[in-house]
Structure 1
Amino acid sequence: MARKLTLDFLKTEAGSGMVLGLAALTALIVANSPLSGAYFGWLKSEQVLQVGPLILEMSISEWIKEGLMAVFFLVVGLEIKYEILRGELSDPRNLATPVLAAAGGMIAPALVYLAISGLLGGPHGGWPIPLATDIAFALAVFAVAARNLPSSLRVFLLTLAIVDDLGAIALIAALFSSGIDLPPLLGVGALLAVGFLVARNRKIPAPFWVLGFAMVWYLTVRAGLSTSLTAVAFAAIVPIVDRRCDGQSPLREAMHDLHPYVAFLVLPLFAFAKAGVSFAGLSLDQMLAPLVLGVAFGLFAGKQIGVLGAAWLASALKVGRKPTGATWLELYGVSLLCGVGFTMSLFIGALAFPGAIDSPEQIEVKLGVLLGSLLSATVGGVVLAVASERRKILAEQTPDTIPD
């Protein structure tokens, strides 16, 4: 069952990868066309949601980021829990490797950025920018390029990326938070605690979890927290055991029902909303600016060094192991994809260098993030495609032998 579920997910993501890429390309074209004013105006337009006495007002961009993407992170959290309890990550050594690789993938990019900024006299405050991995775009490239590779690699990338992004979210809260509203935060904690306590009751119907997630999401927004953080926390309390009334597992049911909507609706909308970066004000002279080079090389070089180095070290010290059935070349391709920072890095860059959208720092942040992410996606996709074709040829020649 676990293998079938994973294969279904891969099939869905492979189909949605082109949709996601098309949405991102469309956003870039629109953002640099005469329609750019209407595009950015639409993203900034405020929308109000009222359900009885509960009222929320956010921009379209915020509704997509905090609303729709919360569902994405919920599905990601559900899949990671499933893999930890029933799948690839049920072996502690398999779980240790992506967690340690995520740590390496945050430390090395920061060091690369600080080294370049120190050598060239750039601003030191941009070191958090290359730490993040854009889960959506990294998974899309993987789905397109790695068709013949073990599904354990996708689980590795998924786990690493979510740990990486949770670290980035914690960093944002520590360095850039403008304050947390305590009462809603306590409400979130109380609801999660109640859900944890009743999760073993096999008679709880599905609507309980739907309503519970909606309430946790609402209080999270009110508290000023990132909904991605609490979505993953909520996924951790959703039961994996079957209900007595219908024999369905709430966790597997949610994964099955939500994943197509996430793949073909949520992620393309997110790409369209966040990939629309205007190139107005960019010049070739700025490509060699210390901030640009620090961010670009932090993403492209720092990520692959940190992720692959930590994975190798975990394997060498016997505290972890490579993803099941994967080779080091294939793992190197995945480590390259971790340098696709894109939307998350742009978000952190806006916090690290607050100011006008066309300020010199913001222009350099955009250029560095785009260069680093594009390099990582392109080279990573090529490496994975070569590894995938190599595996296919070797499988045809010697079906039972895949070299290490």
Structure 2
Amino acid sequence: MSDNISNTSNPLRRVFAPVRALFVGDASAGILLILVAAAAMLAANSAFSDEYDALINGKFAWYPHPKLSSLHYIVNDGLMTIFFFVVGLEVKREMIQGQLASPAARRLPMLAAAAGMAVPAIVFMLVSGGGELTRGWAIPAATDIAFAMGILGILGSRVPASLRLFLLTVAIVDDIGAVLVIALFYTEIESMTSFLMWMGASGAVLAAMAGLNHKNVSVFWPYILLAVVLWFCVLNTGIHATIAGVLAALTIPLHRKDGNSMLEKLEHDLAPWSAYLIVPVFGFANAGVSLAGMGPEALLAPLPLAIAAGLVVGKQLGIFTTVYIADKTGFAARPANASWAEIWGISILCGIGFTMSLFIGLLAFQDQAMIDSAKIGILAGSAVSAVLGYIVLRLTTSHPDKDWNDQRGERSA
């Protein structure tokens, strides 16, 4: 009887394995983002478009701060700080004891990420034609980890572990670059006196958090309390408040007195909330754009075309060319067990720029029509990169990865 059940279940497993792959492991967060983005687009272009706009952008009757006057602001300036906090924790862990810990290990991903930000920006500037659109130069420079890893999760064991690791490390370095870009180029200072006052307060709070780390304080609540104060101080400087999340994360101790990792515990606890709640809420609040009255020419307008070109062409050109030159010159070896076709596919996937690109787009422009135009370019460029990257990897990868299968077996057990 058990043999019959086994024989029956195995074909069923093979039939439903691709479907199951969408909702477990690396794919689930990316698939959720796709569904949320689709829901936002449907809401913005349905009979409920007014209700959607009122929900996201409607002003509250009472609010404690001008930058917290609507759900849109609360999500972008408040909830997304937690997302950046998790990014900061991940960056610190990787830099100290992870895949970016040694100079040799971080050489290629840092070089590839730098080119993967610079070349899309150059492509954007060439296509956009300059003028007021130049403020959007950094929009196509970002890579969305969840989306890109989601595509790899769907492909499963066909993709070598070295390529998944390369994509992850490039995306992490990319996030560091995006944070620096936001801090340096998208900061609005209305009053220098106010800026200096709140910067001083932010520095004092950050110093207090660093002091807790230095004293090996191993309980979470002092860090969390001071992180909230730091967020409020940064909110008032004119620098985007989410930068506080990264700064606060860097002060979290790596280890407790008992030897357990305080940083990893916090990252482990917060990462699911970030991936499955905060980022989807951000996506729903920002991906919706009304297409009413827009024809195919809207996609060919300078701004969306420049963004899409930066994501689709600039990303793969910058990353693939850099890896090729680094490998051929001996500066850094390409990912192990990976063909050039596979590296090309990964380079294309780096053109998926959903979360960070939307975030930078909102900071780059004030005019709602330009913001909507930027969203069209981001969604179109990301969609093309996702589909094209999947097709290239699906056609060029074929070697099973035993370690990946073992890990998925452990996760599903």
How far is the alpha carbon of 1:12 from its aligned partner?
Answer: 5.2
Matched, 1:234 2:245: no
Aligned residue number for residue 66 of structure 1: 77
What is the letter of the counterpart of residue 399 of structure 2?
A: R
- Name the structure 2 match of 1:373: 382
1:250 aligns with 2:259: no
Amino acid at match of 1:371: A
Q: CA deviation at 1:326?
A: 5.0
List per-residue Cα deviations over 1:353-395 (Å, max 9, x = no partner). Answer: 543x34xx556434333322221122123334445x5122x86
Contact 1:133 1:165 in 2 (8 A): no
1:335 counterpart (310, 333, 347): 347
Per the alignment, residue 172 of structure 2 pairs with 159
Contact in 2 for aligned 1:88/1:324 (Cα 8 Å)? no
Quote the offset at 1:240 in angstroms: 0.9
Aligned to 1:288: 300
Are residue 111 (structure 1) and residue 122 (structure 2) matched? yes
Cα distance in 2 for partners of 1:177, 1:311 equals: 39
Contact 1:122 1:291 in 2 (8 A): no
Change in CA separation of 1:278 and 1:17 when aligned onto 2, cut-off 3 Å: same
Aligned with residue 44 of structure 2, among 26, 31, 38: 31
Q: Does 1:190 align with 2:198?
A: no
SS in 2 for 1:155: helix
- The amino acid across from 1:38 in the alignment is E
Question: 2:140 is matched by which residue type in structure 1?
Answer: P
Question: Structure 1, residues 193-212: CA drift from partner, whole Å, max 9, x if none?
Answer: 23223314334312122212
Counterpart Cα distance in 2 of 1:26 and 1:156 = 30
Alpha carbons of structure 1 residues 302 and 203: separation in structure 2 relative to 1, 3 Å: closer
Is the partner of 2:230 in helix, strand or coil? helix
Contact 2:36 2:284 in 1 (8 A): yes
Partners of 2:324 and 2:346 in 1: how far apart? 13
**Pairwise CA RMSD:** 3.3
Cα separation, partners in 2 of 1:19 and 1:334, compared to 1, 3 Å: same
Q: Give me the whole-angstrom Cα distance separating, in 1, the residues matched to 2:249 and 2:268.
A: 14
Deviations 1:145-198, CA, capped at 9 Å, x for gaps:
455542523432431330331243145326x66567222222222222232233
Question: Aligned pair in 2 of structure 1 residues 78, 321: CA closer, same or farther (>3 Å)?
Answer: farther
Alignment of structure 1 residues 1-400 onto 2, 5 Å: 13-47=26-60, 57-118=68-129, 126-145=136-155, 148-150=159-161, 151-170=164-183, 172-173=185-186, 181-244=195-258, 247-323=259-335, 326-349=338-361, 352=364, 354-355=366-367, 357-358=368-369, 361=370, 364-386=373-395, 390-392=398-400
- Which range is displaced more, 362-371 or 74-83? 362-371
In the aligned structure 2, how far is the partner of 1:321 from the partner of 1:166? 28
- Bigger drift between 141-150 and 248-257 goes to 141-150
Q: 1:285 to 1:97 in 2, by over 3 A?
A: same
Residue 92 of structure 1 aligns with an amino acid whose one-letter code is P
User: Any idea what SS the aligned residue of 2:257 has?
Assistant: coil
Query: Match for residue 5 of structure 1?
Result: none
Given residue 273 of structure 1, which amino acid in structure 2 is its aligned partner? A
Q: Give the Cα separation in 2 of the matches to 1:178 and 1:255.
A: 35
SS at 2:294's partner residue?
Answer: coil
SS at match of 2:263: helix
Aligned length: 376
Counterpart Cα distance in 1 of 2:240 and 2:146: 17
Matched to 1:376, the amino acid is S
- Report the CA distance shift for 1:128/1:59 in structure 2 as closer, same or farther (over 3 A): same
AA paired with 2:305? L
Equivalent residue letter for 1:189: G
Deviates more, 1:181-190 or 1:163-172: 163-172
Q: Would the alpha carbon gap of residues 66 and 315 (structure 1) be closer, same or farther in structure 2, given more than 3 Å must change?
A: farther
Q: Deviations over 1:14-61 (max 9, x none)?
A: 3333222221111111111011111111111345676xxx99733211
Partner of 1:4: none
* Cα distance, 1:298 vs structure 2: 1.7
Q: Distance in 2 between matches of 1:179 and 1:348?
A: 23
Cα distance, 1:129 vs structure 2 = 3.5
Alpha-carbon separation, structure 2, partners of 1:241 and 1:130: 36
Cα separation, partners in 2 of 1:34 and 1:230, compared to 1, 3 Å: same
Tell me how far 1:262 sits from its aligned partner.
1.5
Structure 1: segments with no counterpart, 5+ residues: 1-9, 397-404
Q: Is the 8 A contact 1:104 1:310 kept in 2?
A: yes
Q: Percent identity?
A: 34
Taking a change above 3 Å as real, the CA distance of residues 135 and 183 of structure 1, as seen in their structure-2 partners, is: farther
User: What TM-score do you get using the length of structure 1 for normalisation?
Assistant: 0.80
CA 1:232 to 1:121, structure 2 compared with 1: closer, same or farther past 3 Å?
closer
Instruction: Please say if residues 184 and 222 of structure 1, whose CA atoms lie closer than 8 Å, have aligned partners that are also in contact.
Output: yes
Q: Tell me, what secondary structure is at the counterpart of 1:276?
A: coil
CA pair 234-313 structure 1, distance change in 2 beyond 3 A: farther
Change in Cα spacing, 1:173 to 1:117, as seen in structure 2 (3 Å) is closer
SS in 1 for 2:68: strand
CA–CA separation in structure 1 for the residues paired with 2:222 and 2:132:
52
Q: For residue 215 of structure 1, report the CA deviation from its aligned partner.
A: 1.7
**Conservation of the 8 A alpha-carbon contact between 2:289 and 2:372:** no
Counterparts of 1:269 and 1:343, CA distance in 2: 11
Distance 2:136 2:171 in 1: 25
Q: Which position in structure 2 is the counterpart of 1:401? A: none
State whether residues 291 and 365 of structure 1, in contact with CA within 8 Å, keep that contact through their aligned partners in structure 2: yes
